[in-house]
Amino acid sequence: MPKLKTALLAAAFALPIASPAMAQDRQGSIKIKGFVTGVLPDGEIDEVETDAIGLPTGSDTRATDSVIPKVVIEYFLTDNFSIETYCCVSPNDVRGTGPLAGTELIDDAIILPATVTAKYHFDLGNGVKPYLGAGPAYFLIFSEGVGADAADLGVTDVDLSNEFGVALQAGADISLNDRGLGLSLDAKRYFIGTTATFRAGNAIALRSDHDLDPWILSAGLSYRF
């Protein structure tokens, strides 16, 4: 009996210590998401710095949309707070609008939107967890090609600058079973621009600042382990 009493007392004192540890079992867990993603950039001209071509009044541009696969890795510091980054590249063209409607200015610019967001998750019960997030972004843009109509004007090279910006995020994770599988919906809005430089030989034919400010909308499956 003394040994039984001692064991019961030890278990009683251990419970307050063990309970927080069990409540934190999910801390440090990793979630991987596989998404189908729509990239919806703006691309309109914010300012024209150099114009040796003579753009018609009212000329503007737009960046085309694209649909891509995306892989997200998310690390949970607590069950409600996480850090997320993802891997994807988006091919986008730049076309003219207004008096330039239909003109091909830039072909197959590849955007790598390096992004890290901090997210807070709200638990609504029944496996539904909406979240909000925000973080810095750096857009790496490469492989820009001169569009056919820009080439007809004598443009031989085009460059879109790499830039820093900010991303805001909202979405929801919905549990599909008790083994970590879930459905995820995500929306990001970036506030970021780029400077387009068109060269004819060594001379700058056109240099303009553009608002990219894309929406990135995603849906897919997730797995937390």
Whole-number pLDDT of residue 9: 36
33 domain-assigned: yes
Flag whether 13 is in a domain: no
Residues 6+ apart with CB under 8 A from 73: 30, 31, 32, 84, 85, 86, 87
Q: Is residue 147 part of a domain?
A: yes
Please give the residue range of the domain that contains residue 209.
25-224
CATH, residue 51: 2.40.160.20
Q: Rounded to an integer, what is the distance from CA 65 to the centroid of its chain?
A: 14
Query: How much of the chain, in percent, has pLDDT values that exceed 70?
Result: 88
- Is 67 within a domain? yes
Residue 6 has pLDDT above 60, yes or no: no
Question: What are the tens digits of pLDDT across the range 62-119?
Answer: 999 999 999 999 999 999 999 999 999 999 999 999 999 999 999 999 999 999 999 9
Query: pTM value?
Result: 0.85
Domain assignment present for residue 11? The answer is: no
Number of domains into which the chain is organized: 1
Considering only CA atoms, which of 192, 176, 191, 213 is closest in space to residue 33?
Answer: 176
Is position 149 within any domain? yes
Predicted confidence at residue 108, as pLDDT, reads 94
